[in-house]
Structure 1
Amino acid sequence: MATSEEQRKQKIMEHLQKTTELPQEQPSLSEARKQIIMEHIKMTRG
């Protein structure tokens, strides 16, 4: 059974895939969002 940490990562990855599939009208915005998410993952991992 997946831990809450794994489920959170799964949701983040799904979210990233959805956002990257959208038309790239604001690539800098999605890039910034990815950066924030990656930083968040690093912090939650400890």
Structure 2
Amino acid sequence: MAWYVYMLECADDTLYTGVTTDMKRRLSEHNGTPPGKGAKYT
């Protein structure tokens, strides 16, 4: 099983770093599917 380390630029210009085994699913979760249900981070 492959693992991916990724960095995403958020709407507020911060960077979010994470790891996943499923980039398509994780990007969907981060962006909010359905709309308004995006990932939360601190």
TM-score norm. by structure 2 comes to: 0.32
TM-score norm. by structure 1 comes to: 0.30
Structure with more of its chain in strand, by fraction: 2
Structure with more of its chain in helix, by fraction: 1
Computing the radius of gyration from Cα coordinates, the structure with the larger value is 1
